[in-house]
Chain A
Amino acid sequence: MNPRVLLAEDDADHAFFTVRAFQDAHGGTVEMHTVRDGAEALDYLHRRGRYEDVERPHLVVLDLKMPKVNGLEVLEQIKADADLRTIPTVVLTSSDRPQDVQSSYARGANCFVSKPATLTGLREGVQEMARYWIDVATLPSAED
C-alpha cells in the first residue's frame, strides 16, 4: 500500500515542487493530496464535505502561513483530536522565527522544517525529509 501524504500549502508553485520532490524521493509511489488552506485541510482530515470519501493520510505536511485557518490552528486541532493526533505532522514553512519553532513544537508538531532558501536546497531538503518519513520512519497505520 502506498503511503498517503496530505500537503497543506497555499502557494501552488511551492506545492507543485514539494509534491515533485516527494515523488522523486520515492519513485512516484507516494499518494500526494494537496489542499490550499487550513480550513480545507481540516475538512480533509475530518472527511467533511467534498472530502467525505478520502482516506486518512499517513503523514501531514503543513505550511504555517495559510489563508482562513493558519497552520498552527490546524496543528492544534489535529493534536487535540484523539483520532487524528497519531498522524505525524511536519511543519514545512518559509519562517525561521524562533517563536514559530517554539509554538509549533508546543502544539505537538512532530518536526519543524524551515524551507531552505534556494531551489536546490528546497528540493534536496524536501527529498531528504520525504525519505526520512516514508522510508526510515515507520508511520502509524491509517486504519481508524
Chain B
Amino acid sequence: MTGVELLLAAVTAVELALCGGLSVVLGRRWRARPGPATGSAFGVFAVVAFVLVLGLLPPFDTTGWAGALATDVLICVLLTIPYLLLLFTWALGGLGDRVARGATALLVLQWVVTLAVPPLPPEGQSGPAWVAFYTAFVLAAWAVQSLLAAAGLWRAGRGQSSVVRKRMRALGSGTLLMALTLTLSASGADGEPGAWQAFVALLGLASIALFALAFLLPPAVRLVWRQADLTALSAAEQGLMTSVTADEVARTILPVLGRVLGGGGAALLDDDGGCRRAEGLDDDEVRAISARVVGANDGRHPAPHVRDCGDGVLAARLTSGWLAVRAGRLAPVFGDDEAVLLGRVATLVDLAQQRVALFEQERTSRAAAEAANAELETLLYSVSHDLRSPLISVLGYLDCLQQEHREQLAGDGPHYLDRISVNAVYMQSLISDLLELSRIGRSDPAPGRLDLQALAAQVVDAARLGSPAAALHVAGPLPVVWMSDVRARQLLTNLVDNALRHGGRDDLTVTVSAGTDDAGRVLLHVADDGRGIPPEYRQRVLQVFERLDAPKSSPGTGMGLAICKRTAESLGGSLVVSGPPPGSPSGTTVTLALPADVLADGPSAPAPPAPRRTLDSALPAPEGTRR
C-alpha cells in the first residue's frame, strides 16, 4: 500500500466516522424537533454516510439490467445531496420558495434523465458523447444548487447570534467545498492514486469537517465564538442586579437577549400572554409569539423551565409571566444551546423581577402613606382654618355683651358670661395651635443667617414682661445658625413660655444655653428649676394635646411642645425632655438638637428680621419666589 493509498484510507475512515456521527446526532435532533430543517440536515449525512459505506464494499457488477438499475438508483440517491442541502437552506429561511420548487423540479428532471439514458460505461472507460453531456449536466446542476445553498446559508446567518452566524458560514463553506470536491474528482485524472487524488480527498474531508464543526460545535470553539455575546450578556446581567423598576429590567435584558439568541426579538409577557415590553418585534409578531407561548403552556413546569413553542419561539417560564425569544428558525437545528442560555438569563430575570416587585411594593406603600399624611394635614388645615371664622363672631358678640350689657345680667349671669369667654378664648388658642401645627413643613419660611444669641435675648426680654418675678438668663455663647427667623423665634418662645407656664411658681429661674453633642449636632437647652416632669411623662408631654395639668387651669393648649417637636423634626432635628439642670434639685431641661449643617457656614446672606405683625397684611411675592 502506498502512502497515498494509506492517506486515502485514513481520510475515508475519518469521513465515515464524522458522517456517521453527524447522521446519528442530526437524526436525534430530527426526531426531537421534526421539521424540514432537521429532516434535510439528517438526510444529507445519512446519504453521504450511505455512499461512503457503499464505497467500502467490493464493487458490484454493473453489467446486466440489474447492475444498470442499481447504478442509476445510486446516482439518483447521490443527486439528492445538493438538493437536500438546498432544502435545508430553504428551511432556514436562506432561500425563497420559488428556488426550492425549482430545485425539486431539477431533481426530478435529473432522476428522469438518469433513468432514461442507456447504462453508463464502466468506470475508466470513455463512453459516447452523450455521457460527457450527461456528466456536465449533473455536475452543473450540483454546482448551481451548491452555490445557491452556500449563498443562502451565508445570508441566513446575517443578524443571528455570533455562534449561529459562524455556524452558518461553516455550512456554506462546507457546501461549496463539497461541490468543488465532486467536480474535481469527476474531472480528475484516472489511474493510480497520486497527489491529485490525495488533494481532492483532503478537500472532501475538509468539507465534511466544516459540516461537523457547524453541527457538532465543540464546546471550546463555541466559547470562543460566543465571547462577544457573553460579554454583552454578562454586562446586561450586571445591569439586571441594579435595576429598580420592571421597565428597567426589560430595557436591560431584552435587546441583548434578542441579539444573543439570534432572530433579534425578545419580549416579556404576562401570565396570560399580555405583552409587558417587547424589543425588536412588531405588534403582530408579539401577538403571534404570545399565542404560541400561551398555547404551549401546560402549566406543569415551574420557572425557569424553557420550552420550544415552535416556529423558533423559545419561552422561559418566570414566576410571573414569560420571557419569550424569537430565536430564529436556526435554533432547533443546532441543538439546545439557546434554550440553555435562555434558562440561565430567565433565572436572573426572575430574581430581578422579584426584587423590583418588592421595591415597587415599598414605593407604593410609602406613597400611600405620604398621600394619607398629606390628606390628613390638609384636613387639619382646612378644619382649623374654617373653625376660626364662626369663633371670631362668637368672641365678638361676647365682647359686645361684656362691654355693653354686663350690668343688665342678674345673679350668676356675669359669671356665666366669663366662663363662656374663657372657653371660647381657649378654643381659639386650640384652633390657632392646630393651624400652626398643620403649617409646619407645609409652608416653611425661607431660612437665613440667624444669630441665636441675639434672638434668645429678644425672646427672654419679651417673656420677662409677662413673668416679672422669674429670673431669665441667656447663658451664651449661642451659635450663629442658618435657619428661619420665624421658626427659630417660635421654637424659643414656645420653649421659654412652656417653662414659665408649667414651672409651678412665679420666681422660676429659666436658662437658655447651647452646646454640641458627639455627632456635631447643635444643642439648645431651655432649663428651669420648677416642679419638673416625672420621667414617665417626659415622652408624653411632647404629644399633641398632652398636658400634665387640667386644661384651662393654666394658659396654653398642650400643643406648645408638640409644635416644637414637629418643627425640630421638620428641620431634621429632635426634641428631648430630661430632668433638672445640673445643680438644681428639681426642674426640667428641654433640649432641641439640630443637625450640624444648621451652623451658619452656608451663604452669608443676612436674614431680614421678621416684623411682629399686628396686621396680617401680605405683599405679593416677587416673581419666582414662594412664600
- Give the interface of A toward B (CB within 8 A): 11, 13-14, 16-17, 94, 96, 98, 101-102, 105-106, 111-119, 121-125, 128-129
Contacts and interface: CB of A to CB of B under 8 A. Distances in A.
B392 A118 contact: yes
Given A125-B614, A125-B615, A117 B399 contact: no
A91 to B, nearest CB: 9
Interface stretch (B265-273, B510-518, B616-624): B616-624
A14 B394 CA distance: 10
Contacts of A14: 389, 392-393
A41 B432 CA distance: 32
Contacts of B395: 118-119
Contacts of B151: none
A101 B620 contact: yes
B545 to A, nearest CB: 19
B99 to A, nearest CB: 74
B389 to A, nearest CB: 6
A102 B617 CA distance: 13
A98 B243 CA distance: 40
B615 A13 contact: no
B397 interface: yes
B36 to A, nearest CB: 72
Nearest to A105: B620
Q: Main secondary structure on chain A at its contact with chain B?
A: helix
8 contacts: A17-B392, A17-B393, A113-B616, A113-B618, A114-B616, A114-B618, A116-B615, A119-B395
A104 to B, nearest CB: 8
Contacts of B616: 96, 113-116, 121, 125
Interface string B207-249: 0000000000000000000000000000000000000000000
Contact of B393 (A13, A102, A106, A118): A13
A94 B393 contact: no
Contacts of B392: 13-14, 17, 115, 117-119, 122
A66 B431 CA distance: 23
A118 B428 contact: yes
Given A118-B395, A118-B428, 15 more contacts: A13-B390, A17-B392, A96-B616, A96-B618, A98-B621, A98-B627, A101-B621, A102-B621, A117-B388, A119-B395, A122-B392, A122-B396, A123-B396, A125-B614, A125-B615
B396 A128 contact: no
A119 B435 CA distance: 16
Interface of B: 385, 388-390, 392-393, 395-397, 399, 428, 431-432, 435, 443, 614-621, 626-627
A37 B603 CA distance: 49
A43 B251 CA distance: 64
A94 B390 CA distance: 11
Nearest to A118: B428
Contacts of B443: 98
A122 B389 CA distance: 11
Given A102-B621, A116-B616, A128-B615, A94 B388 contact: yes
Nearest to B616: A114
Chain B CB within 10 A, most for which of A14, A118, A124: A118
Contact of B385 (A17, A94, A106): A94
Contacts of A96: 616, 618
Greatest chain B CB density within 10 A among A106, A117, A128 is at A117
A12 B395 CA distance: 14
Contacts of A125: 614-616
A121 B399 CA distance: 13
B107 to A, nearest CB: 84
A112 B435 contact: no
- Ranked nearest first, the 4 interchain pairs of A and B with the lowest CB-CB distance are A13-B393, A105-B620, A119-B395, A125-B615
A128 B614 contact: yes
Which one of A17, A123, A124 has the highest number of Cβ atoms from chain B below 10 Å of its Cβ?
Answer: A17
A129 B393 contact: no
Nearest to B617: A113
B627 A101 contact: yes
Nearest to B428: A118
Contacts of A112: 617-620
Contacts of A114: 616-618
B620 A13 contact: no
Contacts of B617: 111-114, 129
A54 B615 CA distance: 31
A105 B621 CA distance: 10
Nearest to A116: B616
Contacts of B627: 98, 101
Contacts of B615: 113, 116, 121, 124-125, 128-129
A118 B431 CA distance: 10
B620 A102 contact: yes
A95 to B, nearest CB: 8
Contact of B432 (A11, A98, A117, A129): A117
